[in-house]
Structure 1
Amino acid sequence: MPDYTTFVDTYKIIPFVMGVGLIYPNPKTETRRLVGILLVLISVVPFSIMIFIDIYDCWKRRDIINIIRHTTVVGPFLGGIFKMFIMYYKKTPAKGLVDEIDNDYASYNSLPSSYKSIINKSISNNLLYSEKCWAVTVITCVMTFPFMAVTLNIYNFLFKSEPTKHMVHDLIIPFMEPEARFDSPTFEVMFVYMLYACLLYVINFTGYDGFFGLCINHACLKMELYCKAVEDALRAATEMDIHDRIVDVIREQNKLKRYVDLVQATFNIWLGIILIATMIQIGTCMYHITEGYGLDLRYIIFMTGTVIHIYLPCRYSAKLKHMSMETATLIYCSGWETIPSNRIRKTLLFMIARGQIPIEITAFNILIFDMDLFVTILNSSYSMYTLLRS
């Protein structure tokens, strides 16, 4: 049994959720995915129409709190549905990312143990943070809504003489009396329907965003490995052997550049959308928490998840940028001074110069994702919050 197999076999959660969420780039299932995406879109249309009608009614009576409450939920929800269309449109570069990871893992089986320790550390990090921790974060943020609704309903029916019912997301149903939404079977049908919406929410955000983290971390792994390969190449017995192994490293540098271009092509639209959306989301959530109908734990958790949601792509992109520049230092410290060949020294000089150019992930191919952008987003969100309060 080989140490490393494929993307699907290595990471169980993200590929499975991507498959269930109709975003896994498998050419054999393109038609089925498209039909499935359209069916999901049709299934969420009633929910979306009801919310937009309620938003319109709130706008007519200038009920800003409920407008924000609705948009806080429906915005990310529709964004999750939009991810299905993005990934179908970007299926070619996304398939290229999966194929590159599969090919790399197949080649890693022939590497020495010193390389495998680096690979194992990277995979363990992915399994813990990009898969498990991210999945727990999404589930916690989303399922808090139905969990609290179920808890309150059970408590009210057990301990109150006149129990009140709580919906997952309180929504006035069009063309019905407001209190009729709590009558049976309307209440039960809407409760199950909203549970279905929560499930879609969890699937879309766990798979797509987790895939981005795995792809970035794999790019960082590729850089670590070829820097290690430079160090080992300079210990070769002959000048010709050193030269050939250095050429192999240059090929890996070129492959990395093409791989990052695939990452950019796959995710640049989504990065631009969440940049704008989370900036608005954080500000409106803060306003709802402070100016709404009392302190709402659900929206505090939801806002925390929103901050994490924009923090992670900024953190991953900053990690990629830092690692790309760190390669220049690692190559410089690889022991070139012991090599008498000017040809090899000049080759290393070009590799160092190339490593000093940072590799950056951008939104809409314009805005650079890094930790400075994350701070800017938080500042802008707070400015929006103060504007709403005024």
Structure 2
Amino acid sequence: MENTNSEIKPFESFDNTFKYCTYGMVFSNIYPNKSNMKKRLYFYCFTLLFASPCLISYAYSCRFYIMAHDIFNLTRHLAVGIIILLYLFKVLYCILNTNKFENILNTVSCDIIDVNELDDGAKKLCAFFLKKAKVGQLVWSLLPIVIGFQFPVYAGIVMIHENIWKDYPHREMVHEMELPFVKRSKFDSPVFELFFFVSGIGCLILLPNFCGLDGSFCISTTHLGFKIKYVGYLVLKAFEDSNDSLELHAKMKHAIKCHQKALQFYKELQDFYGPWLLVIFIVTSSLIAFNLYQMYIIQQLHPKYVLFAVAAVLHMYVPCVYASNVTEFGEDLVVELYNVPWERKFEISAIKSVIIMLANAQRPLVFTGCGIVTYNMELFITVMKTAYSSYTLITST
């Protein structure tokens, strides 16, 4: 018989717990590894070089549509272009802020592993929050796949239909645009096949990035929620289970340390994700308005534009939900600290500790986009109203 000294632990590191998010970070070149920062920057530049034909054609097309006052094609182009710019921003931002990102992931990883040494109540609490985090990971695993694959798949379906039912079939590009160097032969071989391949690969490159960075925001904010709820749990257990003043004092001291760590983790999250949240606000508002305008012009619910609009709405809705949850957990902690059964252990030092924690917990835990926009459900409603206002403004011109 084999003797296994290593005990199986239910709570593992970040990489093993959130595998989809980890794979997304690795494949999208944003996994925070200090030792390969230069290599990732080189690969980022290589990606730009590889996609340069499409990027040049995109820029040329935007200029062409502006000169021609073609608002329909310009908004169609911008709806795709801002997604590309968002990807370029996120990758470069994560590479340049590797230390901040790494500290966040290490904190999550170490905290999850430490739960193995805690009591059953803390383990149940952690398991509950891990499920919520995995929901966010799943959303950012499936949503980008649906949106990203719609372009090459739609183009492929259209060309199959054209070849079956029409004598002179029309070729469909992954994203229709003007090609500056081959204006008259963009649908001829091998130019068409080359651009179709590069555009298709570009769609695949974009997908993991959302699962990596956007998914990590859901995971990190949910973990912050766990840290906050765990503080309330510690304080309650301290007053209920302590046998003497020394034990109560020690447990309250530990609870205060955990609370301070939670507040520090909140500051780290706000510092790292703040610029990204601001960019997301701008991008989603524009995307929704552009796609509403597209459907208004063609006077039908085109599947491509509907999917794009729904994705933009979800892209704003999901961060608002997870950010709002943190704010709610912070407000709940105030109530939990106020309601602790301090009368059971009338210890002055312990009561003073609760008062200090109450004072610190009074500060709202809100996530903002560089202090400009506050992420909550009110912001989501505001974005919907702003997008509709932009849509009406565009249609009136």
What TM-score does the superposition give when structure 2 sets the normalisation length? Answer: 0.94
Give the distance between the partners of 2:97 and 2:204, measured in 1 at CA: 24
| Aligned pair partner of 1:299 in 298, 305, 316 | 305
Is the 8 Å Cα contact of residues 256 and 353 (structure 2) preserved in structure 1?
no
1:270 aligns with 2:264: no
Amino acid aligned to 1:48: L
Classify the secondary structure of the residue corresponding to 1:334: coil
Give the distance between the partners of 1:321 and 1:72, measured in 2 at CA: 32
What's the RMSD between the two structures over aligned residues? 1.5
Classify the secondary structure of the residue corresponding to 2:271: helix
| Aligned pair partner of 1:203 in 204, 208, 218 | 208
Shift, 1:212, TM fit? 0.9
Amino acid aligned to 1:84: V
1:91 aligns with 2:104: no
Is the 8 Å Cα contact of residues 283 and 384 (structure 1) preserved in structure 2?
yes
Give the distance between the partners of 1:32 and 1:52, measured in 2 at CA: 28
Is the 8 Å Cα contact of residues 30 and 94 (structure 2) preserved in structure 1?
yes
Is the 8 Å Cα contact of residues 15 and 207 (structure 1) preserved in structure 2?
yes
Shift, 1:247, TM fit? 0.8
Deviations 1:33-75 (A, max 9, x none): 1111111122222211101111111122211100001110011
| Aligned pair partner of 1:213 in 214, 218, 224 | 218
Uncovered stretches (5+) of structure 2, i.e. residues with no partner: 1-7
Shift, 1:294, TM fit? 4.7
Give the distance between the partners of 2:299 and 2:389, measured in 1 at CA: 22
When structure 1 is superposed on structure 2, of 43-52 and 331-340 the one drifting more is 331-340
Give the distance between the partners of 2:37 and 2:98, measured in 1 at CA: 9
1:137 aligns with 2:146: no
- Trace 1:82-121 onto structure 2 (pairs within 5 A): 82-121=89-128
1:255 aligns with 2:255: no
Give the distance between the partners of 1:181 and 1:293, measured in 2 at CA: 28
Shift, 1:293, TM fit? 7.2
Correspondence for 1:190: 195
1:167 aligns with 2:146: no
1:282 aligns with 2:288: yes
- Trace 1:18-57 onto structure 2 (pairs within 5 A): 18-57=25-64
1:318 aligns with 2:336: no
Shift, 1:275, TM fit? 1.4
Correspondence for 2:20: 13
Classify the secondary structure of the residue corresponding to 2:323: helix
Amino acid aligned to 2:200: L
Amino acid aligned to 2:303: L
1:240 aligns with 2:246: yes
Correspondence for 1:152: 158
- Trace 1:55-74 onto structure 2 (pairs within 5 A): 55-74=62-81
Shift, 1:155, TM fit? 2.3
Shift, 1:79, TM fit? 1.1
Q: Give the number of aligned pairs.
A: 388
Amino acid aligned to 1:158: I
Classify the secondary structure of the residue corresponding to 2:51: helix
When structure 1 is superposed on structure 2, of 165-174 and 92-101 the one drifting more is 165-174
Uncovered stretches (5+) of structure 1, i.e. residues with no partner: none
Is the 8 Å Cα contact of residues 140 and 210 (structure 2) preserved in structure 1?
no
Amino acid aligned to 1:103: C
Classify the secondary structure of the residue corresponding to 2:36: helix
Is the 8 Å Cα contact of residues 79 and 286 (structure 2) preserved in structure 1?
no
User: Identity over aligned residues, as a percent?
Assistant: 25
Give the distance between the partners of 1:102 and 1:211, measured in 2 at CA: 12
Amino acid aligned to 2:151: F
- Trace 1:290-369 onto structure 2 (pairs within 5 A): 290-292=296-298, 294-369=300-375
Give the distance between the partners of 1:323 and 1:216, measured in 2 at CA: 11
Deviations 1:257-282 (A, max 9, x none): 11111111211111111212222221
Evaluate the alpha carbon distance shift between residue 12 and residue 277 of structure 1 in structure 2; reply closer, same or farther with a 3 A threshold.
Answer: same
Classify the secondary structure of the residue corresponding to 2:186: helix
Shift, 1:21, TM fit? 0.8
Classify the secondary structure of the residue corresponding to 1:237: coil
Shift, 1:347, TM fit? 1.7
Deviations 1:120-139 (A, max 9, x none): 12112222x21122211111
Shift, 1:310, TM fit? 1.2
Amino acid aligned to 1:316: Y
Give the distance between the partners of 1:34 and 1:166, measured in 2 at CA: 34
Classify the secondary structure of the residue corresponding to 1:340: coil
1:225 aligns with 2:226: no
Give the distance between the partners of 2:207 and 2:113, measured in 1 at CA: 31
Shift, 1:172, TM fit? 2.2
Shift, 1:101, TM fit? 1.1
Give the distance between the partners of 2:183 and 2:262, measured in 1 at CA: 60
Shift, 1:353, TM fit? 2.8
Give the distance between the partners of 2:328 and 2:302, measured in 1 at CA: 39
Amino acid aligned to 2:150: T
Give the distance between the partners of 1:88 and 1:133, measured in 2 at CA: 24
What TM-score does the superposition give when structure 1 sets the normalisation length? Answer: 0.96
Is the 8 Å Cα contact of residues 55 and 67 (structure 1) preserved in structure 2?
yes
Is the 8 Å Cα contact of residues 165 and 182 (structure 1) preserved in structure 2?
yes
Classify the secondary structure of the residue corresponding to 1:109: helix
